[in-house]
A and B are shown apart, each in its own frame.
Chain A
């Protein structure tokens, strides 16, 4: 029984991690195709993509879009959550439902809707349009995380701040935001990684300047190459860094 459960554990992690491990290993393939047999180690493919201007531009675009769209989603989500936590309005439940609703809609549908609407109002497919799209998908996430984090303890501290003469922006800035730092950071990093990986919205809402997933996709169309593995490994590396940073800063603090 004991061996069986260990075997199960190993199989589970193997199932989750093997594709990634394969991807990373064959990014070092000394050959034209990222398939077995493994012929030897080379950094040639990394050198190739790091000197590929289109690829590096896309990477920069992705970082900017992820950073700005997450900040906007975080700010809007924070304001919505602290507002709805503060007062009970008629229809509060409906408002919360509406804010979270976009989570249930597929990215494809959201992208199609945005594409049509942007066409109407004259916003061209661009990084801005993609950024707006990413705010649409990440705002519900940020709202849900922050709303859940505002407990009775926070509410009464906010009440005390108002009682002591703080204006509403001072309540948010001096009390609510510092008290919610762990939730704010978690929401920001999640939104950041979602935007960083997102393909469908970025694919439909960009044209000349594209984000990294779109660039990788166009690279894949010309066939498999260890270079795509190398890009994939780099994208994966960024996500790992974000997660590790999160683990080291926030969760360690929270467990104190």
Chain B
């Protein structure tokens, strides 16, 4: 069971505060979409509007081509996995998972069989008779997922479901979520403020800020070729070098650079700077280096612009000495226009 979602010019206001500014979004059936942004960016508001807990001030929500803007949550083909799990403490896991089916009038034997099947999918079939308070956080998480998927929704909405888990468990749940999503084929809309989580699970990431969509694309697109300064900075650390066109290339405080002419801010990820690459960044002195396990994190002071500090992640093998002067190279340059910076 799956369906596409179409958000048409949705605007939402809380009293005088505008939480969403005419948001347009197309979600394909079976897609794993992640709404990503800092708190207060409107991602949870958008999720609540898709789930039917909020009615937008303006605009429309189409699910599977049908207008759902004014339909109550119980009548929508969506279910939500809540941040605090919202399990029913007085029911066994089996009854929790079977609740949605019971509300749909399914007979007891059938719904219990289905509930066990769902619990089996999340690896908790042997605990069907337990109560939620006897479980760990990660296990409650799985029950909430099983309960939301038991009614075979077209769209599953996940409201920061992994926020309360520790890092290791979160990684594991991310992989499981992704695997389960591929298996059931349901459209997943997942809200988070963690960009690593977003990249790990999403087919497409929607970066939001101040009630607007900043960038919508695959994890690679959003990370490597951000469209705005905000998404560049939010997706991860970035070095910023102001550039302006000059002949075939650009000029910068580092000197002329051999990239396509453009006016704006050159953004380079720390791992896009190295001792070899597509274009030279000139010579620089290593100020500081720290070993982070999978890479060395190095701060370089360019010879041409000693007031700048470039951060580079060098591979394990390369072991520069502090004080050494080397030539730096860059890869995958992204130049963001000044107006894009102003918008962020």
Contact = CB atoms under 8 A, between A and B. Distances in A.
Contacts of B51: 163
B322 interface: no
Interface string B118-151: 0000000000000000000000000000011001
A162 B90 contact: no
B165 interface: no
Interface in A112-131: none
Contacts of A179: 88-90
B23 to A, nearest CB: 22
Nearest to A256: B133
A161 B82 contact: no
Interface residues of B, number: 23
B2 interface: no
A95 interface: no
Interface in B27-77: 51, 53, 72-75
Nearest to B81: A160
Interface string A137-168: 00000000000000011001101111111110
Interface residues of A, number: 19
B49 to A, nearest CB: 14
Contacts of A164: 74, 79, 99-100, 103, 147-148, 151
Given A175-B88, A178-B90, A179-B88, A163 B103 contact: no
B84 interface: yes
A167 B74 CA distance: 8
Contacts of B179: none
Nearest to A175: B88
Interface in A16-33: none
B335 interface: no
Given A165-B151, A166-B74, A166-B103, A156 B84 contact: yes
A92 interface: no
Contacts of B88: 157, 160-161, 175, 178-179
A249 interface: no
A181 B86 CA distance: 18
B86 A162 contact: no
B74 A159 contact: no
B84 A162 contact: no
A160 B74 contact: no
B104 interface: yes
A165 B104 contact: yes
A166 B72 CA distance: 11
Contacts of B78: 163
A164 B73 CA distance: 8
Given A156-B84, A170-B103, A162 B72 contact: yes
B259 interface: no
B89 A161 contact: no
Given A175-B88, A179-B89, A179-B90, A165 B82 contact: no
A77 B71 CA distance: 29
B93 interface: no
Interface in A171-205: 174-175, 178-179, 181
Contacts of B74: 162-167
Interface string A206-221: 0000000000000000
Interface string B85-97: 0111110000000
Nearest to A160: B86
Contacts of B238: none
B80 interface: yes
Contact of A159 (B53, B103, B104): B53
B184 to A, nearest CB: 17
A152 B151 CA distance: 25
A178 B75 CA distance: 24
Contacts of A170: 103
A153 B84 contact: yes
B189 to A, nearest CB: 14
Contacts of A165: 74-75, 100, 103-104, 151
Given A165-B103, A166-B103, A157 B72 contact: no
28 contacts: A152-B84, A153-B84, A156-B84, A157-B87, A159-B53, A159-B82, A159-B86, A160-B82, A160-B87, A161-B88, A161-B99, A162-B72, A162-B74, A163-B51, A163-B53, A163-B78, A164-B79, A164-B103, A164-B147, A164-B148, A165-B103, A165-B104, A165-B151, A167-B74, A170-B103, A175-B88, A179-B89, A179-B90
Given A166-B74, A181-B90, 17 more contacts: A153-B84, A159-B82, A160-B82, A160-B87, A160-B147, A161-B99, A161-B103, A162-B74, A163-B73, A164-B79, A164-B99, A164-B100, A164-B148, A165-B103, A165-B151, A170-B103, A178-B88
Interface of A: 152-153, 156-157, 159-167, 170, 174-175, 178-179, 181
Q: When A and B form their complex, which 5 residue pairs have the shortest distance between CB atoms, in order from nearest?
A: A164-B100, A160-B86, A165-B103, A156-B86, A178-B90
